[in-house]
């Protein structure tokens, strides 16, 4: 990060105040996924209908400007945005990427850092966000998203599509879907989550072998009464911060 050398004239001119010329707008957005009613769903907020803000009334990813007084760093900012909408404190959170350019926000050159959160649904029943008048879960259907790509504010349709793609691709070889379940969970439940996110059935035997063989993945916590005729074993994650990577991808030979 070196200061770029503009204006080659005046070689020893006193350095101007750092970038007092136009600075881009800086925001953080969060793509929040959870599993509700046997479906992958994403959390969206409705933008205010009144006022001078762009995209009034449209649905958008939760997020907003970095507050240089409140936020120590980007991750803290993402957690704050999430807390404002869901009262969730410590979800699985990873960076998805950045989108920045001149045209994505009518107010000017802007850049957003997008995070990617996976929540167990049980953990957010509580409040629905204090100030969030309109916060809703939307199912992410097989094709991609329920909403047409450009029905979301800004370039959030694209961002959401990228998030879904990343999730689907990582599910092939990591334990990411486990973060969508409240603990304790059973192997049949976990397998079901994989099937929902992947959109195809997974072989029971292979799935169990893989899951139980993975080091530092699951920990037994005793049988669970799920209402099933035979009580399945309950498990919890050894590490809720980091997913486990499997040595191969899931693949259907048929």
Partner DNA sequence: ATAATAGTGTCTTTTAGACAATATGTA
Partner DNA sequence: TACATATTGTCTAAAAGACACTATTAT
Rule CB under 7 A: which residues touch DNA? 186-188, 202-210, 213, 223, 225-226, 228-233, 246-248, 250-254
Q: Whole-angstrom Cα distance, residue 154 to residue 116? A: 18
Binding-site partner at residue 230 among DNA, a second copy, none, CB < 5 to 8 Å by type? DNA
Per the rule left: phi > 0, alpha: psi between -120 and 50, beta: everything else, 225 is: beta
Is residue 10 involved in binding a second copy (CB under 8 A)? no
Q: Whole-angstrom Cα distance, residue 19 to residue 61? A: 29
Is residue 215 involved in binding a second copy (CB under 8 A)? no
48-80 in b/e burial notation, b at 16+ Cβ within 10 A?
eeeeeeebeebbbbbbbebeeeebeeeeebbbb
Both tokens assigned to 194: 């994989």
Nearer to a second copy, 163 or 181 (CB): 163
Q: Provide, rounded to whole angstroms, the least separation between the CB of residue 250 and DNA.
A: 4
Is residue 51 involved in binding a second copy (CB under 8 A)? yes
Q: Whole-angstrom Cα distance, residue 160 to residue 166? A: 10
Is residue 216 involved in binding a second copy (CB under 8 A)? no
Binding-site partner at residue 253 among DNA, a second copy, none, CB < 5 to 8 Å by type? DNA
Q: Provide, rounded to whole angstroms, the least separation between the CB of residue 3 and a second copy.
A: 5
Is residue 89 involved in binding a second copy (CB under 8 A)? no
Q: Whole-angstrom Cα distance, residue 14 to residue 3? A: 14
Is residue 138 involved in binding a second copy (CB under 8 A)? no
Both tokens assigned to 217: 């993945």
Is residue 223 involved in binding a second copy (CB under 8 A)? no
Count of CA atoms in the C-beta half-sphere (13 A) of 149: 9
Q: Provide, rounded to whole angstroms, the least separation between the CB of residue 219 and a second copy.
A: 25
Q: Provide, rounded to whole angstroms, the least separation between the CB of residue 155 and a second copy.
A: 9
35 within 8 A of 181, measured Cβ to Cβ: yes
Q: Provide, rounded to whole angstroms, the least separation between the CB of residue 194 and a second copy.
A: 17
Binding-site partner at residue 68 among DNA, a second copy, none, CB < 5 to 8 Å by type? a second copy
Terminal alpha carbon distance of the chain = 51
Interface residues with a second copy (CB under 8 A)?
A: 1-6, 12, 14-15, 18-19, 22-27, 29, 45, 47-48, 50-53, 60-69, 71-74, 81, 95, 97-103, 105, 107-113, 131, 153-154, 156, 247-249, 251
């Amino acid at each position: 990060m070196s200061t770029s050398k503009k204006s080659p004239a005046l070689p020893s001119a006193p350095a101007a105040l750092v970038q007092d010329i136009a600075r881009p707008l800086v925001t953080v957005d969060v793509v929040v996924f959870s599993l509700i009613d046997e479906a992958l769903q994403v959390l969206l907020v409705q933008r205010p209908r009144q006022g001078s803000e762009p995209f009034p009334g449209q649905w958008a990813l939760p997020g907003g400007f970095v507050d240089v007084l409140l936020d120590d760093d980007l991750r803290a900012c993402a957690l704050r945005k999430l807390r404002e909408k869901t009262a969730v404190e410590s979800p699985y959170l990873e960076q998805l990427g950045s989108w920045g350019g001149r045209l994505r926000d009518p107010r000017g050159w802007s850049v957003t850092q997008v995070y990617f959160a996976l929540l167990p649904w049980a953990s957010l029943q509580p409040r629905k966000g204090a100030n969030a008048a309109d916060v809703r879960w939307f199912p992410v259907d097989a094709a991609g998203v329920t909403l047409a790509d450009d029905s979301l504010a800004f370039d959030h349709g694209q961002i959401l599509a990228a998030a879904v793609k990343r999730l689907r691709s990582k599910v092939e070889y990591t334990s990411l879907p486990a973060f969508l379940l409240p603990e304790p969970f059973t192997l049949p439940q976990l397998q079901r989550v994989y099937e929902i996110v992947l959109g195809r059935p997974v072989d029971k035997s292979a799935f169990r072998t893989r899951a139980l063989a993975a080091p530092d993945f699951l920990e037994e916590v005793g049988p669970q009464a799920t209402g099933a005729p035979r009580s399945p074993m309950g498990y919890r994650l050894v590490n809720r911060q980091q997913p486990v990577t499997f040595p191969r991808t899931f693949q259907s030979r048929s």
